[in-house]
Amino acid sequence: MASGDETQHGSAPLTCLVTGATGYVGGRLVPELLAAGHRVRCLARSPEKLRDQPWAGQVDVVRGDVTDRASMIGAMRDVDIAYYLVHALGTGAGFEETDRKAARLFADVAAGAEVRRIVYLGGLTPSDVPVSQLSPHLRSRAEVGEILLAGPVPATLLRAAVVIGSGSASFEMLRYLTERLPVMVTPSWVGTRIQPIAIRDVLRYLVASARMPDEVDRAFDIAGPDIMTYRDMMERYAKVAGLPHRLILPVPMLSPRLSSHWIGLVTPVPRSIARPLAESLRHEVVCGEHDIARYVPDEPGAPLAFDEALALALLRVRDAQVMTRWSNAAVPGAPSDPLPTDPDWAGGSLYTDVRERDVHAPASALWRVVEGIGGENGWYSLPVAWALRGWLDRLVGGVGLRRGRRDAARLRVGDSLDFWRVEEIEPGRLLRLRAEMRLPGLAWLEMRVEETGAGRSRYRQRAVFHPRGLFGHAYWWSVSPFHAIVFGGMARNIARAAEAETG
């Protein structure tokens, strides 16, 4: 064992193995463990998926699989705490047996390696329903927990219901359903009581579990303070997200199978994941105890209330109710930041228009044109269209185009620029603007300059739109036919202006 004679609840660093580091929870847990002073080893079937993580150089990454004994033996060597954060949901009809075999192997190898503790994040299950009658998803989670507890290594099982955080499959279902449907014909499970938990609290409990006293060998229910129905969750999501009230009409004949088809039509969450999650929503999942507080005392303001968790998951600053940088895509430092390993369908809808041009002018000349955009210089495409958009914005109470710019040649972060705001600037390389016009969503315009050599450069332009509600989606598709003229012309004319400057 890596830590000698120190006890788990001492202060010496522990060596932690994180399985599922390429997944939603695991990818967020790793930096929290590092921040707590622990050493971290990640087990991944595809280690290359972790190379873009900001913490990749601080951890030991090994290739392997929880169903492969040889790779597990190597991964467990000199490990104190082993986090089991994998499951076979979405892999097909045989996922329950795969989960059983993997859990048995994990417990067996951990015992042989003299691992001090296994920590597992499972699903909250109703106390009055036999395991055999649970949905396949919850049944498998419960069985994995029982297997790990039955092994010789002390285990901490954390049982959670819906996890509120951008990237969580359950939360993404909630996000897409509520944002895309102002009127919903829903299954009867919208009336099922649920006790959700913020990803921030899940991570807090997971990290603290590494220091559990040696004698602790049991399951704990973990959740936030709010008990509500799925309907309540959708209505409160709409309120926090600034959407109009949603009309929700439950229809009893919508079975879990039909529900999964319905979810598949409305959301990009894969049906292989949506179906078992929808089947699980028929069960009431409310905590039967809060014993975890004996070992992980509740901090001020924790666990987070549902609305607070939503505000973080929606990437909003709670007081201002505005999104921060889309490039960082989160409240700074919040553990709900989208990560490189998050699935493509996580994070809500994001529409983009991308343009790129090779420019026969040095990067310095191209940058001068980019930094001088707006104000008297205009936007390099269809001045009448930009003027009309500014006039319409003023008509509905927006800022319009009259603000111009502070300086004719230089920009800095925070400057107003017509109906944009300079969000970020890297001199000579990057200008990112955030729209302050009245829109049914949030919008950014990014312009990049790259030196390509021999007096030439490349111009990259990207417009990004995060729609709010069904009207936001309709807005994007109504204006997208004009993007080739507006954004395409803008990229073309910026390139020409830089070339003209150099003769």
| Alpha-carbon dihedral 307, 313, 314, 317, rounded to 10 degrees | 80
Residues 6+ apart with CB under 8 A from 301: 308
Q: Are residues 41 and 100 in the same domain?
A: yes
Query: Helix (H, G, I), strand (E, B), or coil: what is residue 209?
Result: helix
Taking only the tens place, the pLDDT of each residue in 203-245 is 999 999 999 999 999 999 999 999 999 889 989 998 888 888 8
Domain contains 343? no
**What is the pLDDT averaged over residues 412-432?**
89
Confidence of residue 113 (pLDDT cuts 50, 70, 90): very high
Smallest CA-to-CA distance from 486 within 468, 461, 467 is with 461
What pLDDT does residue 407 have?
81
Q: Are residues 362 and 248 in the same domain?
A: no
What pLDDT does residue 323 have?
31
What pLDDT does residue 84 have?
96
Confidence of residue 94 (pLDDT cuts 50, 70, 90): confident
| Kind plus residue range of the DSSP H or E element containing 232 | helix 230-240
Is the peptide bond preceding residue 187 cis, with omega within 30 degrees of 0? Answer: no
Q: Are residues 260 and 175 in the same domain?
A: yes
Q: Are residues 302 and 358 in the same domain?
A: no
Distances (CA, A) of 192 to 157, 162, 178, 245, 250: 24, 12, 17, 20, 11
Whether the pLDDT of residue 8 is over 50: the answer is no
Which residues lie across from 193 on neighbouring strands? Answer: 229
Confidence of residue 314 (pLDDT cuts 50, 70, 90): confident
What pTM does this model have? Answer: 0.70
Q: Are residues 297 and 371 in the same domain?
A: no
Domain contains 304? yes
Q: Are residues 308 and 374 in the same domain?
A: no
Residues 151 and 260: their CA atoms lie apart, in Å, by 36
Decide which of 350 and 83 is more confident.
83
CATH number at 151 reads: 3.40.50.720
Domain contains 298? yes
Lowest mean pLDDT among 33-37, 268-272, 379-383: 268-272
Q: Are residues 418 and 480 in the same domain?
A: yes
Listed residues 313, 341, 375: the one ending a domain: 313
What pLDDT does residue 320 have?
29
Pick from 356-360, 374-378, 403-407 the range whose average pLDDT is largest.
356-360
Residues 6+ apart with CB under 8 A from 51: none
Domain contains 357? yes
The tokens of 73 are what? 């033996």
| DSSP state, residue 181 | -
What pLDDT does residue 6 have?
41
Q: Are residues 211 and 265 in the same domain?
A: yes
Percentage of the chain surpassing pLDDT 70? 83
| DSSP state, residue 252 | T
| Kind plus residue range of the DSSP H or E element containing 43 | strand 39-44
Lowest mean pLDDT among 90-99, 124-133, 205-214, 443-452: 90-99
Domain contains 167? yes
Q: Are residues 242 and 386 in the same domain?
A: no
Residues 6+ apart with CB under 8 A from 257: 275
| Number of compact structural domains in the chain | 2
What pLDDT does residue 22 have?
87
Q: Are residues 20 and 107 in the same domain?
A: yes
Q: 49: domain range?
A: 15-313
Decide which of 62 and 263 is more confident.
62
What pLDDT does residue 316 have?
39
What pLDDT does residue 336 have?
44
| DSSP state, residue 86 | -
Q: Are residues 290 and 413 in the same domain?
A: no
What pLDDT does residue 255 have?
61
Q: Are residues 262 and 400 in the same domain?
A: no
Q: Decide: 145 and 159 in contact? Cβ < 8 Å.
A: yes
Q: Decide: 231 and 251 in contact? Cβ < 8 Å.
A: no
Q: What share of the chain is helix, strand, coil (3-state, %, to 5)?
A: 40, 20, 40
Taking only the tens place, the pLDDT of each residue in 317-350 is 333 233 323 333 333 333 344 555 555 555 666 7
Helical spans, DSSP H, in 247-336:
256-266, 271-280, 306-313
Identity of the amino acid at 242: G
Listed residues 313, 340, 359: the one ending a domain: 313
Identity of the amino acid at 405: R
CATH number at 483 reads: 3.30.530.20
Percentage of the chain surpassing pLDDT 90? 44
What pLDDT does residue 175 have?
85
Domain contains 4? no
Q: What mean pLDDT is reported for the chain?
A: 83
What pLDDT does residue 468 have?
76
Three-state SS for 144-171 is HHHHHHHCCCCEEEEEECCEECCCCHHH
Residues 218 and 118: their CA atoms lie apart, in Å, by 11
Confidence of residue 365 (pLDDT cuts 50, 70, 90): very high
Whether the pLDDT of residue 474 is over 80: the answer is yes
Domain contains 35? yes
Residues 42 and 58: their CA atoms lie apart, in Å, by 11
Domain contains 8? no
Confidence of residue 202 (pLDDT cuts 50, 70, 90): very high
**Helices and strands counted in the chain (H then E):** 14, 19
| DSSP state, residue 47 | G
